[in-house]
Amino acid sequence: MKNERVFKMAFSQVYPLLVQKAERKGRTKREVDTVIYWLTGYDEQSLSAQLSKEVDYETFFAEAPQINPAAEKISGVVCGVRVEAIDDPLMQKIRWLDKLVDELAKGKPMEKILR
């Protein structure tokens, strides 16, 4: 199943791609981190620990201190799929993160991204 493959991807491999996507559009790693902190409740130390442990996406979100309740307000399309219409809770969290980084890369102001 395609979702299983995504869930088992090492977050430490995806993270640099998220940062690169933002940096190509003139945003910073710090801004990507801020978005991750907002969504997951991780802080600099705990995010760094997850990256060094090379956890997969599933573990990354399962161990997240607290998914921001405002994340429910994230809407729009990522990879041709409406994020608010995704049934699988883990896939929805992954797409929420993609959507936030997309908005960052599109130059949206941080206060709008962090709903």
Identify whether 52 is part of a domain.
yes
Claim: this prediction has a pTM higher than 0.85: yes
Q: How does pLDDT run along the chain (115 residues), one tens digit per residue?
A: 568 888 999 999 999 999 999 999 999 999 999 999 999 999 999 999 999 999 999 999 999 999 999 999 999 998 888 999 999 999 999 999 999 999 999 999 999 999 8
Identify whether 15 is part of a domain.
yes
Identify whether 83 is part of a domain.
yes
**pLDDT at position 14, please?**
96
| CA neighbor of 99 nearest in space, from 18, 29, 28, 43 | 18
Identify whether 10 is part of a domain.
yes
Identify whether 113 is part of a domain.
no
Provide the residue range defining the domain that includes 73.
2-108
The CATH number of the domain where 98 resides is what? Answer: 1.10.8.290
Identify whether 114 is part of a domain.
no
Identify whether 63 is part of a domain.
yes
CA distance 36 to 45: 13
Q: How far is CA 34 from CA 9, 16, 27, 55, 90, in A?
A: 22, 15, 12, 20, 20
**Which amino acid, 65?**
P
For the chain, the domain total comes to: 1
**pLDDT at position 4, please?**
83
